[in-house]
Each structure stands twice: as structure tokens, then as C-alpha cells.
């Protein structure tokens, strides 16, 4: 099921109204299927920065490369865009408890918004999920069930539990919830002054990232606010890439596979719930699905951190990794306008990062500081100042 929002009669006055409203995802409320403003629970989600860095562009060989920094959403991941709408809808239908199965980020987000809404919350995650994400859900007071199984089995168990216990589901089979995710397309359109990127690249697990982006751009086109729609790219970890496999085989639906181990744990899904929908979005926009190895993902994570100051989790770096691959393949041209979505914060899974700078552990003493600085040859401060005194140059 998909929600259809009728916007046709509002085309003219809506743009000015939205532009004048305070920042945040709910500026776009006419596009979202929530009827009672009082049901909305906002943690300040939306309007994340669209960052351009000359150094990153040079390294990647793409002049106009932008990062949509969704690591800055309230719980540190993309999920807040859809969960704020899911929880508003849950309140509208007077749900008694909300629930989700998750590779980690979705659980943290539902737990946080449920806490703000005062709703009981149950989340199920694979037991091997990064500790930070599980901790987030627990800190917000959710009932956290860690299943000794990978995600696909956890999700199957969750669907059984949903039937048994009747919770309000925040899964991507909930079409209301999915509508919130469109907002990153709207924001990008506005941040680029109405220009449609040539490519938008999203790390993909269940498939919503590209499906919702496609719907968002179609709605903008329906209003006459854009004529072009970007080519959409699903970026997956090569070890868990059912959408890439289906795309390469020319299928219009995915075949379930067993997700192999990957550092991109948030997108390690073998049976994507919206795989068919993602494939439709890719086909309709002349897009691509492409995989990245763990090595390429970790390289992209480090490159992003060193050149832009954005620290994202490995899954989130899959979009940049795939941008670099598509540039190498010649599919992305050096002058193309490319937007990569960074979907989750690096501090959610810090143990995976490979910092480029060593840690200098020393005994307290100035001589040891000097030795550390001398060893750190990349450091611009490794020449001690001639004498003490004022810190000002």
C-alpha cells in the first residue's frame, strides 16, 4: 500500500507558505498523511545540512559532490524522518504500544519518539547489533529483545509477535511511516535552489530510501516545481546485496539471499521488504544498484571524516563508496551533480572505524608531548614554539 496525498489544488500558494515556516521536517506537513497537528511528536528532525567539500570532490573526481548529512538527525540516523510520522499516526489511531524489528537505528529512533510520546515500545534486534544502538533504545525505556539470530530471522520472529500481541508496527509495511522519508528529497531540492541532482545515492537495506526519494521527486514534479528527477542509486554492501543481484539479473523483484558478514551491519539484510519498490524506482529513473566491499566502505568512511568533518557509520559510507565506484566505471561523469546521503552517525558503531591518526599515550610531561608531536609527522603543530608566554601569535 502507498499513501496518496492530493496536492494539486495547493500548488501555487504552498511554496511560499513552506518557505516561511520554521525549519524542520513538519514544514512539509501538506505532503504528510497526518490530519491532527496535535498528534505530532517532533524532536527537531529535518533540514539537515547539504555539505560540499572541495577536497572530497577532488579525491572522488566529481566536481559537484554533496553529502546530505542525516547523521545530524535527533537520534543520529535517517530513521527519524519516517518515525516522527509513524508515531504521529500511532497517536491518531490511539495505539497502545508501538514496536519494530531493526538492525539497530530504527530501534533507537522508535524508542526515542515513543518515549517523547509517552507510548510503551518494544523493539527486536539481532543480538550482535552494535552496543551503542541497543543502548540508545534501552536508555529511552523501550523493552529491548535481542534475538540470537541475524536480522532476517529476527524480522520473521517479529512479524509473528506482531500478530500475537497486536502492537502498532513501525515497519516499512506501514505506508504512513514511509511518507516521512520523502522529506530528504524535498530538502535537497530546496537546498539546491530547485536544481535536481543528476544522481542521488542512498545506502539501502529494506529499500525505502530510494522508493521514498522517487515519490518525493514525483510529487515535486506533480506540483510543477521541478521537471527533472534524479537518477536513483541503491548502495549495498557486497556481502548483503539482494537488490544489486536482482538489478544485475534484470529482475523486477528480489530473490531472498543469506546476508553475509559485513562491517555495514545496519544494511545487512537478505530479504528487503520493499526490494521490488526500490527496483521500480531505480528502473523508472534510469538509476543503478551497486555494491561496495567492506574495504571500499571503510575507505569512504575515513575519506569523508578526513575531508569534510562528517563521521558516519560504515553503512552510511556505502553511498560515497558506490559514488566512487560509479565514477571509476565512467557512469558518473566528473561534472555531474551527485548527492550521497550519509544516513547514520559514526559514534553509533565506533569500534568499526579505522582512524587515520595514531593515538599517542604518554606519561604526563612536556618532553613526552614533544616526542609524540615529532612522531606525528602529519601534524602541523609538531614544531614547538620558541618560547612560552602569550598563546596569541
Ligand X SMILES: Cc1ncc(COP(=O)(O)O)c(C=O)c1O
Chain residues binding ligand X by CB under 6 A are 77-78, 103, 105-106, 203-209, 266-267, 313, 315-316, 343-344
Shortest Å distance, C-beta 85 to ligand X: 14
* Residue with smaller CB distance to ligand X, 323 or 357: 323
* Residue with smaller CB distance to ligand X, 7 or 245: 245
Packed helices 79-92 and 105-117: angle between N→C axes, nearest 10 degrees? 40
Shortest Å distance, C-beta 333 to ligand X: 26
* Residue with smaller CB distance to ligand X, 84 or 315: 315
- C-alpha closest to that of 124 among 96, 95, 153: 153
The residue with its CB nearest to ligand X is 344
Shortest Å distance, C-beta 143 to ligand X: 20
For residues 41 and 117, is the Cβ–Cβ distance under 8 A? Answer: yes
Shortest Å distance, C-beta 117 to ligand X: 21
- What would the grid cell of residue 147 be? 534475538
Bridge-partner residues for 36, per DSSP? none
Shortest Å distance, C-beta 386 to ligand X: 48
Q: For the residues of 101-138, what is the DSSP string, one character each?
A: E-SSHHHHHHHHHHHHHT--EEEEEETTS-HHHHHHHH
* Residue with smaller CB distance to ligand X, 77 or 285: 77
Q: Compute φ and ψ for 127, nearest 5 degrees.
A: -60, -25
* Residue with smaller CB distance to ligand X, 60 or 78: 78
* Residue with smaller CB distance to ligand X, 107 or 119: 107
Alpha carbon distance, N-terminus to C-terminus of the chain: 64
Shortest Å distance, C-beta 271 to ligand X: 12
- C-alpha closest to that of 340 among 68, 78, 57: 68
Q: What does each C-alpha distance from 259 to 141, 297, 321 come to in angstroms? A: 30, 16, 19
Amino acid at each position: 500500500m502507498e499513501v496518496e496525498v492530493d496536492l494539486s489544488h495547493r500548488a501555487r500558494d504552498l511554496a511560499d507558505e513552506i518557505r516561511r515556516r520554521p525549519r524542520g521536517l513538519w514544514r512539509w506537513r501538506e505532503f504528510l498523511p497526518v490530519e491532527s497537528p496535535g498528534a505530532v511528536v517532533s524532536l527537531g528532525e529535518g533540514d539537515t545540512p547539504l555539505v560540499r567539500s572541495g577536497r572530497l570532490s577532488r579525491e572522488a573526481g566529481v566536481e559537484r559532490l554533496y553529502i546530505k548529512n542525516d547523521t545530524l538527525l535527533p537520534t543520529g540516523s535517517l530513521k527519524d524522518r519516517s518515525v516522527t510520522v509513524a508515531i504521529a499516526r500511532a497517536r491518531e489511531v490511539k495505539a497502545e504500544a508501538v514496536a519494530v524489528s531493526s538492525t539497530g537505528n530504527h530501534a533507537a529512533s522508535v524508542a526515542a519518539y515513543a518515549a517523547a510520546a509517552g507510548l510503551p515500545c518494544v523493539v527486536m534486534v539481532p543480538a550482535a547489533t552494535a552496543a551503542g544502538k541497543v543502548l540508545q533504545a534501552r536508555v529511552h525505556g523501550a523493552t529491548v529483545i535481542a534475538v540470537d539470530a541475524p536480522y532476517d530471522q529476527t524480522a520473521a520472529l517479529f512479524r509473528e509477535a506482531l500478530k500475537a500481541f497486536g502492537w502498532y508496527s513501525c515497519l516499512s509495511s506501514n505506508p504512513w511511516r514511509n511518507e516521512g522519508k520523502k522529506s530528504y528529497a524535498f530538502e535537497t531540492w530546496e537546498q539546491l535552489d530547485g536544481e535536481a541532482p543528476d544522481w542521488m545515492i542512498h545506502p539501502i537495506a529494506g529499500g525505502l530510501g530510494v522508493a521514498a526519494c522517487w515519490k518525493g521527486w514525483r510529487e515535486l514534479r506533480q506540483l510543477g516545481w521541478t521537471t527533472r528527477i534524479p537518477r536513483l542509486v541503491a548502495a549495498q554492501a557486497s556481502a548483503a546485496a539482494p537488490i544489486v543481484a536482482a538489478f544485475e539479473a534484470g529482475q523486477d523483484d528480489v530473490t531472498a539471499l543469506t546476508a553475509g558478514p559485513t562491517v555495514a551491519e545496519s544494511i545487512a539484510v537478505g530479504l528487503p521488504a520493499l526490494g521490488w519498490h526500490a527496483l521500480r524506482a531505480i528502473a523508472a529513473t534510469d538509476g543503478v544498484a551497486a555494491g561496495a566491499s567492506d574495504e571500499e566502505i571503510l575507505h569512504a568512511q575515513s575519506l569523508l571524516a578526513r575531508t569534510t568533518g562528517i563521521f558516519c557509520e560504515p553503512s552510511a559510507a556505502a553511498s560515497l563508496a558506490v559514488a566512487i565506484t560509479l565514477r571509476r566505471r565512467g557512469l558518473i561523469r566528473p561534472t555531474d551533480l551527485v548527492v550521497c546521503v550519509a544516513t547514520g552517525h559514526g559514534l553509533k558503531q565506533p569500534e568499526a572505524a579505522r582512524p587515520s591518526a595514531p593515538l599517542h599515550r604518554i606519561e604526563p610531561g612536556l618532553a613526552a608531548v614533544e616526542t609524540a608531536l615529532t612522531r606525528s609527522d602529519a601534524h602541523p603543530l609538531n614544531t614547538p614554539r620558541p618560547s612560552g608566554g602569550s598563546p596569541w601569535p
